[in-house]
A and B are shown apart, each in its own frame.
Chain A
Amino acid sequence: MKFMLMMHAPRGTGEYGVNAWSPDDFKAHIAFMQKLNRDLTSAGELVGAEGLASPGEAKIVRSGKNGQPAVSDGPFAESKEFLAGYWIVEVDRPERAYQIAARASSAPGPGGTPLVIPIEVRQVMSAPPPADA
């Protein structure tokens, strides 16, 4: 079964205020995330993982007149969090996905203290069986 693990970052402090971190703290954080991805890859559990660019350039798009894109700045200004990145993992049971999420959540912040990032875990729906099956 597949799960999507979504990492949310608080808005306004620039991803847990990384701007205020020391260079070593920041390096340790990156190394932690890279090790996680390597481990998931070698375990054969990683389907995909992407980090998203900063939300400053994000747009909200709707279908406008004649199907033309109507583009506005987004995400909504009032939202307190934004999606910073995600993993899709293939695991045998949900508990394993929770374990991976907990590990990601423990990524180190300033002074090596775990950030305890909230990770939203959602099962990815499988394709419906073929109609003539």
Chain B
Amino acid sequence: MSAGTPETPLVTNVEHLLRDLAPQVLAAVARRYEDFAAAEDAVQEALIAAAAQWNSDGIPANPRGWLYHVALRRLTDHLRSELARRRREEAVASELIAEWAFVPPSDVEVPANSDDTLALLFMCCHPALTPVSAIALTLRAVGGLTTAQIANALLVPEATMAQRISRAKQSIKSSGIAFSLPTESERSERLSAVLQVLYLIFNEGYASSIGSDLHRADLSNEAIRLTRMLRELLPAEPEVSGLLALMLLTDARRAARADADGALIPLDEQDRSLWNRDLIAEGAALLSRTLSSDSVGPYQVQAAIAALHDEASSVQDTDWPQIRALYGVLRGISDNPMVALNQAVAAAMVEGPAAGLEQLAALDGDARIAGHYRLDAVRGHLFELAGNRERAVAHFRAAAERTANMAERNYLLTKAARVAAEGR
């Protein structure tokens, strides 16, 4: 795939349709044939065949039935060759073949069962899987992306990604993870695992969607698409809506986050006229409908903070007291030092840099964040605000030394150079 310009559509209509149908067809096949790993492989083959054939011959009248038919035919072939290797079990084999010889025609009606798609998502995001496995499996089984596309998006070789996916499927088998909806008692824990995987996919794309890396930007779109789908399936879950709102309100700033050379532009220096007003309006509307519900979860609070930034005309006009209060709410939900870091920034914006620096002092004793480059980066900004250039430069440089993100390192070094030059 060539790098292309931003105007080049990265996915065609056929691909959009295939991605929508992928989880529905896989769920139907997996229902019929208990081996999830084999069912998943068969559906992937059907998707690849469809991508090639539909682009040249046009989309069939019943695309879902076509995919179901082709996937079952692949599965039957697979089963036959499996059984051929085990001739001794002749009797069992012929019985199974008899049952499997029937592959419904390609115009069969395959109902789109929304509970099945949901069960699939819960399975792929099971907490027993490592995050990297869950991300890869979700993108393939639920997102309908090919292994090559996922490898490309996550910057690993295709063979590595194929292995990662197959190991994820093995873990599903060995952990006895069922293809079913979670029980009422485990539901909230399982749902938060799903939301976390979707958010990781979004961030994977967002954090690196600067410069010419269009493939990665596509991951954010994929995360938004999957979260929209989840919201249609679970319209009454406030945190699902909260996560979708958070993604939309964050993604709205994408065009303003980097300059033409791909250099990172921080929030306070962004050209706010480049922010996507449609996404902001959609995210804010979604959020205001959600916040009226009883339980307020971490995604809704983060979305509320993003909305306050998005709706402000400048850094000075931002409702910092409200943002500080919301970080306080977030800290009440979970004790996360990164939240404390952001709260210190908000405190500095309300009361001045000294108040922010004082809050940061407490974090030096927290092993989870002491020595983290972001602590130095924030200190750099606050010392700059306080007019202490020397210490600002020292902290920006220390942060640049430790970050593992190239764009961030370049930003921090440029920042250090700029502040140092102002002092000369």
Q: Say whether A23 contacts B401, CB under 8 Å.
A: no
Counting chain A residues whose Cβ lies within 8 A of the other chain, the interface size class is 10 to 19
Residue of chain A at shortest CB distance from B404:
A53
Main secondary structure of the interface of B (DSSP, over half): helix
Q: What's the nearest-Cβ distance from chain B to residue A109, in Å? A: 13
Contact with A along B202-215 (1 / 0, CB 8 A): 00000000011000
Q: Say whether A38 contacts B261, CB under 8 Å.
A: no
A56 at the binding interface (Cβ < 8 Å): yes
Tell whether A31 pairs with B421 under 8 Å between CB atoms, given A23-B414, A42-B3, A54-B401: no
B104 at the binding interface (Cβ < 8 Å): no
A76 at the binding interface (Cβ < 8 Å): no
Q: Say whether A53 contacts B263, CB under 8 Å.
A: no
Contact with A along B1-26 (1 / 0, CB 8 A): 00100000000000000000000000
Interface locus among A14-22, A67-75, A92-100, A123-131: A14-22
The complex places the Cα of A41 from the Cα of B212 at a distance, in Å, of 11
Q: Which of A25-65 contact B (CB under 8 A)?
A: 25-27, 30-31, 34, 38, 41-42, 51, 53-54, 56-57
| A22 cross-chain contacts in B, Cβ below 8 A | 417, 421
Counting chain B residues whose Cβ lies within 8 A of the other chain, the interface size class is 20 to 34
Residue of chain B at shortest CB distance from A31:
B261
The complex places the Cα of A54 from the Cα of B402 at a distance, in Å, of 7
B406 at the binding interface (Cβ < 8 Å): yes
B187 at the binding interface (Cβ < 8 Å): no
| B416 cross-chain contacts in A, Cβ below 8 A | 19
The complex places the Cα of A53 from the Cα of B408 at a distance, in Å, of 11
| B262 cross-chain contacts in A, Cβ below 8 A | 34
Q: Say whether A30 contacts B410, CB under 8 Å.
A: yes
Which of A23, A56, A57 has a CB less than 8 Å from the CB of B417? A23
Tell whether A34 pairs with B211 under 8 Å between CB atoms, given A41-B3, A56-B401, A57-B402: yes
The complex places the Cα of A54 from the Cα of B410 at a distance, in Å, of 12
B106 at the binding interface (Cβ < 8 Å): no
Tell whether A18 pairs with B413 under 8 Å between CB atoms, given A31-B261, A34-B211, A54-B402: yes
| A27 cross-chain contacts in B, Cβ below 8 A | 261, 263, 414
The complex places the Cα of A64 from the Cα of B182 at a distance, in Å, of 44
B418 at the binding interface (Cβ < 8 Å): yes
| A21 cross-chain contacts in B, Cβ below 8 A | 417
Q: What's the nearest-Cβ distance from chain B to residue A115, in Å? A: 15
Residue of chain B at shortest CB distance from A53:
B404
Residue of chain B at shortest CB distance from A15:
B413
The complex places the Cα of A19 from the Cα of B420 at a distance, in Å, of 9
Which of B261, B400, B409, B418 has a CB less than 8 Å from the CB of A23? B418
Question: What are 19 sample pairs from A and B whose C-beta atoms fall under 8 A apart?
Answer: A18-B417, A19-B420, A21-B417, A22-B421, A23-B421, A27-B263, A27-B414, A30-B410, A34-B262, A41-B3, A42-B3, A51-B406, A53-B402, A53-B409, A54-B400, A54-B402, A56-B401, A57-B401, A57-B402
